[in-house]
Amino acid sequence: MNVHAVILAAGQGTRMKSALPKVLHPVGGKPMLGHVLEAARAAGVADIHLVLGHGAEQVRDWLKSSGHVEVNTVVQEQQLGTAHAVQQAIPHVPDGALVLVLYGDVPLIAAETLKQLVAAAKDGMALLTAELANPFGYGRILRDGQRRITGVVEEKDADDRQRAITEVNTGFVAAQARRMKRWLSKVKNDNAKGEYYLTDVAGLAAKDGVEVRGVTAANPDETEGVNDRLQLAQAERRFQRLKAERLMRDGLHLADPARFDLRGSLDFGRDVFVDVGCVFEGIVELGDNVHIGPYTLLRNVKLGSGTRVESHSVLDEADVGRDCRIGPYARLRPGAQLADQVHIGNFVEIKKSTVGEGSKANHLAYVGDATVGERVNIGAGVITCNYDGANKHATIIGDDVFIGTDSQLVAPVVVGRGAYIAAGSTITRDAPEDALTICRAREQRSFPGWKKPVKKK
């Protein structure tokens, strides 16, 4: 079946109080509109028509930058209601196609639900409904004595009997485009808000003798729209809970699924443990028996089997081998590549460097633009001075090197294999292999009776 989706995304979103168009606000690290586009594609939609209004250029820029160049965009110059919005896009939909109406600010809609809605609309019309204990604010589904849908009444236009109905309209609708075009042309705005409601097409379809089927959402949460920051946060938690439950069913051990955030994709092996407060962004790959300590951020990271990351560490664009120990309070910046059995301890920062097997920097060190060999010991307070104010320079450290505490390696410099750098040294020239290199002030002097400076009054 040829299915075209019309996604409504023209609302100003004034309650968000933001310069960013509402549909571009993120849930799970991705704009809400991105989730809706993915769901539509997964449901088998062939073509997508996006109705824009406020912030149209920003949305178009995002579509281009994120690779959604195939989406057709139209602009609703005046926001006169949902039926009016669909009318802006419906001329681009062939008469023989099925049109599916979606919303750019309903990010949790499931592809499977959309498939059910499309299937139910093959020879008629289908509405997505939900059963709510508190239906306040929603349009109510009207049925006759045979439980056939006869229409939808909005909250402001409903009487007391109709307001008692708990089956509500979610706004999602599917029907043949040819019929939808005819019904849209008949929609009037004689209601409390003076708008052209898309919901009126259900009553028009029923009057034409077309069966209107209701598809009840299995989880009402997936039909919730986002209009303000509170609802955005609620959608975020629902999204994260769904992700956490799916991952746990696949074997991931989460200490607390309520304190877990995934803003990308996570691939993991067996017996992986993730403690509380961890955030995963981009593409993250974890091998078998990986342990992630609390309040850790992993962004576009690959960790080998048996690696352990302690609490409050930040790993960004890093590739880590097997059986490594990282943290607590460690930072791996983009370009960090760690071989197997590397130890990176507290307050150690690695940037655009490779660290060989068995090497360690256990505390208070900075290694940038460096190549570190195997079995190297980097002491506390060691830094590679890689930036001269204009350019970055490389430091090369051979295998089995010992860098003493509080030493500075001023790049470009090479420390030969087996070299020993004495504590407190500032190395500005290459250090030879298998030799002790020391570079300190030649004389230590003391001054008895020295008076410390006093602040001027």
The two three-digit tokens of residue 287, written as one number: 């091998």
Name the residue ranges covered by the structural domains of the chain: 3-223, 229-437
List of residues 6+ apart from 404 with CB closer than 8 A = 379, 382, 420, 421, 422, 423, 424, 425
Residue 185: how many other CB atoms lie within 10 Å: 11
List of residues 6+ apart from 366 with CB closer than 8 A = 348, 349, 351, 382, 383, 384
Residue whose C-alpha is closest to residue 63's, from 45, 36, 83, 89: 36
Q: What is the pLDDT of residue 106?
A: 97
Q: Please tell me the least confidently modeled range out of 126-135, 163-172, 406-415, 436-445.
A: 436-445
Cβ-contact 175, 205 below 8 angstroms = yes
Cβ-contact 297, 277 below 8 angstroms = no
Half-sphere exposure of 2 (CA within 13 A, CB side): 9
**Cα angle 117, 123, 129; round to 5:** 30
Confidence category of residue 245, pLDDT binned at 50, 70, 90: very high
Instruction: Give the best-scoring range by mean pLDDT among 1-15, 201-215, 327-341.
Output: 327-341
pLDDT in tens, 66-116: 999 899 999 999 989 999 999 999 999 999 999 999 999 999 999 999 999
Q: What is the pLDDT of residue 146?
A: 86
Confidence category of residue 200, pLDDT binned at 50, 70, 90: very high
Q: Which of 25, 49, 363, 393 is catalytic?
A: 363
Q: Using a cut of 0.85, tell me whether the model's pTM lies above it.
A: yes
Cβ-contact 355, 373 below 8 angstroms = no
Instruction: Report H helices in 139-254.
Output: 160-163, 177-186, 200-207, 229-249
Q: What is the pLDDT of residue 381?
A: 97
Q: What is the pLDDT of residue 446?
A: 63
- The answer to whether residue 4 is catalytic is no
Q: What is the mean pLDDT of the chain?
A: 95
Confidence category of residue 355, pLDDT binned at 50, 70, 90: very high
Residue 456 has pLDDT above 90, yes or no: no
Burial classification of residue 3, based on how many CB atoms lie within 10 Å of its CB (0-12 exposed, 13-18 middle, 19 or more buried): buried
Confidence category of residue 262, pLDDT binned at 50, 70, 90: very high
Long-range contacts of 356-364 (CB under 8 A, 24+ apart): 356/399, 357/321
Residue 296 has pLDDT above 90, yes or no: yes
Residue 254: how many other CB atoms lie within 10 Å: 19
Residue 188: how many other CB atoms lie within 10 Å: 9
CA distance 265 to 38: 14
CATH superfamily for 3-223 is: Spore Coat Polysaccharide Biosynthesis Protein SpsA; Chain A (3.90.550.10)
Which residue matches tokens 């430091």? 395
Residue whose C-alpha is closest to residue 75's, from 143, 11, 28: 11
pLDDT in tens, 30-79: 999 999 999 999 999 999 999 999 899 999 999 999 999 899 999 999 98
Which residue matches tokens 């200490």? 255
- What mean pLDDT comes out for the span 407-418? 97
pLDDT in tens, 384-411: 999 998 899 999 999 999 999 999 999 9
Residue whose C-alpha is closest to residue 226's, from 86, 5, 16, 7: 16
Residue 153: how many other CB atoms lie within 10 Å: 22
Q: How much of the chain exceeds pLDDT 90, in percent?
A: 89
According to CATH, the topology of domain 229-437 is UDP N-Acetylglucosamine Acyltransferase; domain 1 (2.160.10)
In b/e form, how buried is each residue of 16-41, taking b as 16+ CB within 10 angstroms?
Answer: beeeebbbbbebbbbbbbbbbbebbe
Residue 450 has pLDDT above 80, yes or no: no
Q: Which amino acid is at 4?
A: H
pLDDT in tens, 158-198: 999 999 999 999 999 999 999 999 999 999 998 888 999 99
CA distance 297 to 312: 8
Burial classification of residue 159, based on how many CB atoms lie within 10 Å of its CB (0-12 exposed, 13-18 middle, 19 or more buried): exposed
CA distance 353 to 417: 18
CA distance 274 to 403: 34
